[in-house]
């Protein structure tokens, strides 16, 4: 019997657990699902005899090491900053590890030690990063194998409400970590390369420098740049590519409104607001506007942010969030009332998925290349919808790739050791093939070549 330890039972684990349990009897696997919240675990394993719940605080080193020592493979579904201590234990105890998160500096430092220990530390096998890697790298490798030279690579991903559940003026609901949404773009200047020129976008301009993308059958989307596109030159072997750009998708209008939060300073997480518990939503909003003895909040907002009167859709978005209302701020669970955390609490009230709501993952790539003296271009896109507010597309497209990667490791089908991401054929080909069985498939289309 092989034991699989899953650490963390958050919102992306249900599909992962279900996948592993469907194979557990035939493969003679035993799942141990560990979390501080035992109720969360027992709810997800639903009494399956091939699974056991374990109450564990991952910061308790003794408990963590004991649980890892008893496993054949560890899957960490913890927040990204908590993977490295688990990885260190896995290397020391010679246990393979799978995570869905980006390879951090601390994780990368473990590469040589993991190789020496004959251990795989597989990362970036969620949706983004993950499915974006395996889908893009296959197309890039096919182009290069034919003798083509890559000239342009663009990639965008977004988690959005499905059209049938898109019922608010922001055209957005939370299907993953709200804090990451609030702080998006704030980690330093955005970097990319365009027609051979390095480009940088400071945080205060990220949500104004956007581009539109049309996907047949699903309409128009708006993309803003992710923090660092340049690292993907080495990841994908595109060292000399003239244009590389990665971003996040929203529906048109979102970025213009979110830019106002950024410009006002409402996404700042660096200081606490005095007397926040006494403020109404309207007073909170007014705290970031210039003082005037008589002008209303609405009027000051329009003047201060240069909003024309004919752009009432912007005011509708803020009105929907209750920011013009004299309602108390929802600070019951906010321990540190920074502007960003207060804004997050307001958004969580209004952007939660309701029972029956469906989300969708939208992924879109563009490849420009030269082959046999001709410039060519193609796009590849994937749309995947969730079942309901619990069985979300986000959870499915994170959990299933993680589970597939874990299975491939358990079956000895991945031979590379050390810190890995899914960019080699031995990993991405079987993952892509199996994902098709779950409805995750890409539609490729040739289009006329054009520069920016």
**What is the CATH number for 71?**
3.40.50.720
Question: Does one domain contain both 88 and 212?
Answer: no
Structural domain ending residue among the three candidates 93, 123, 153:
123
Shared domain check, 29 and 114: yes
Q: How many CB atoms lie within 10 A of CB 137?
A: 21
SS (H, E, C) 113-166: HHHHCCCEEECCCEECCEHHHHHHHHHHHHHHHCCCEEEEEEEEEEEEECHHHC
In a domain, 407, yes or no: no
408 domain residue, yes or no: no
Query: Same domain for 8 and 104?
Result: yes
Domain count, the chain: 3
Alpha-helical (H) ranges within 265-391 are 281-286, 297-304, 312-320, 339-350
CA 135-140-145 angle, 5° bins: 130
Same domain? 209 vs 301: no
**Do 115 and 135 have their domain in common?**
no
Same domain, 371 and 328: no
Q: pLDDT, tens digit, for every residue of 312-326?
A: 799 999 999 999 999
Task: Give the separation between CA 82 and CA 59, rounded to whole angstroms.
Answer: 9
Residue 147 sits in the same domain as residue 246: yes
Domain of 384, CATH number, reads: 3.30.360.10
Same domain for 197 and 87: no
What does the alpha-carbon distance between residue 429 and residue 63 come to, in Å, rounded to a whole number?
Answer: 37
> Does any domain span residue 7?
yes
Query: In this predicted model, what pLDDT tens digit does every residue of 254-285 receive, in sequence order?
Result: 999 999 999 999 999 999 999 999 999 999 99
In whole angstroms, give the CA distance from residue 189 to residue 204.
Answer: 9
Q: What is the DSSP letter of 81?
A: G
Q: Where are the alpha helices (DSSP H) in 54-121?
A: 61-69, 83-92, 105-108, 111-116
Question: By C-alpha distance, which of 48, 41, 92 is closest to 66?
Answer: 92
Alpha carbon distance, N-terminus to C-terminus of the chain: 55
Residue ranges of the chain with per-residue pLDDT less than 50: none
Q: Which domain holds residue 88?
A: 2-123
Of 12, 32, 319, 369, nearest in space to 168 by CA:
319
Task: Answer yes or no: do 387 and 243 share one domain.
Answer: yes
Q: State the burial class of residue 298 (Cβ atoms within 10 Å of its Cβ: 0-12, 13-18, 19+).
A: middle
SS3 state of residue 419? strand
- According to the model, what pLDDT value does residue 452 have? 62
Give the three-state DSSP class for 382.
strand
Would you say residue 410 lies in a domain?
A: no
This model's pTM is above 0.75: yes
Do 87 and 227 sit in the same domain of this protein? no
> Are 379 and 235 contained in the same domain?
yes
Q: Which of 91-95's residues contact partners 24+ apart within 8 Å by CB, and which partners?
A: 91/117, 91/119, 91/121, 92/117, 93/65, 93/68, 93/69, 94/118, 94/119, 95/68, 95/69, 95/71, 95/119
């Amino acid at each position: 019997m092989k034991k699989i330890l899953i650490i963390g039972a958050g919102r992306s684990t249900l599909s992962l657990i279900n996948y592993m349990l469907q194979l557990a009897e035939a493969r003679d696997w035993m799942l141990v699902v560990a979390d501080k919240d035992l109720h969360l675990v027992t709810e997800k394993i639903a009494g399956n005899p091939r699974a056991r719940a374990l109450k564990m605080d991952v910061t308790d080193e003794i408990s963590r090491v004991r649980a890892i020592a008893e496993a054949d493979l560890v899957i960490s579904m913890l927040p990204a900053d908590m993977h490295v201590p688990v990885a260190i234990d896995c290397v020391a105890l010679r246990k393979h590890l799978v995570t869905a998160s980006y390879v951090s500096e601390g994780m990368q430092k473990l590469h040589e030690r993991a190789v020496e220990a004959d251990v795989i530390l597989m990362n970036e096998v969620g949706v983004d990063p993950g499915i974006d890697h395996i889908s893009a790298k296959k197309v890039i490798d096919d182009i290069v194998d034919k003798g083509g030279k890559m000239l342009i690579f663009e990639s965008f991903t977004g988690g959005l409400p499905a059209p049938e559940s898109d019922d608010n003026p922001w055209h957005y609901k939370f299907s993953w970590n709200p804090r990451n949404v609030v702080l998006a773009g704030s980690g330093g200047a955005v970097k990319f390369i365009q027609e051979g020129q390095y480009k940088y976008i400071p945080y205060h301009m990220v949500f104004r420098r956007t581009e539109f993308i049309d996907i047949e059958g699903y309409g128009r989307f708006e993309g803003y740049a992710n923090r660092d596109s340049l690292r993907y030159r080495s990841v994908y072997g595109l060292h000399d590519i003239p244009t590389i750009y990665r971003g996040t998708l929203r529906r048109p209008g979102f970025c213009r409104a979110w830019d106002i939060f950024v410009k006002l300073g409402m996404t700042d997480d660096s200081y606490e607001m005095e007397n926040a518990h006494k403020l109404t939503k309207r007073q909170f909003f007014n705290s970031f506007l210039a003082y005037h003895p008589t002008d209303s909040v609405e009027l000051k907002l329009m003047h201060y942010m240069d909003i024309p009167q004919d752009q009432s859709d912007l005011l509708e978005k803020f009105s929907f969030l209750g920011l013009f209302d004299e309602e108390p701020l929802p600070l019951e669970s906010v321990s540190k009332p920074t502007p960003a955390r207060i804004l997050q609490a307001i958004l969580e009230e209004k952007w939660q998925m309701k029972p029956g709501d469906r989300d969708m993952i939208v992924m879109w790539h563009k490849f420009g290349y030269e082959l046999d003296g001709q410039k060519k271009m193609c796009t590849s896109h994937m749309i995947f919808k969730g079942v309901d507010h619990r069985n979300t597309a986000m959870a499915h497209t994170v959990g299933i790739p993680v589970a597939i990667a874990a299975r491939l490791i358990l079956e000895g089908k991945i031979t590379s050791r050390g810190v890995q991401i899914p960019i080699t054929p031995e990993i991405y080909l079987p993952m892509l093939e199996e994902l098709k069985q779950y409805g995750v498939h890409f539609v490729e289309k040739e289009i006329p070549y054009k520069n920016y």
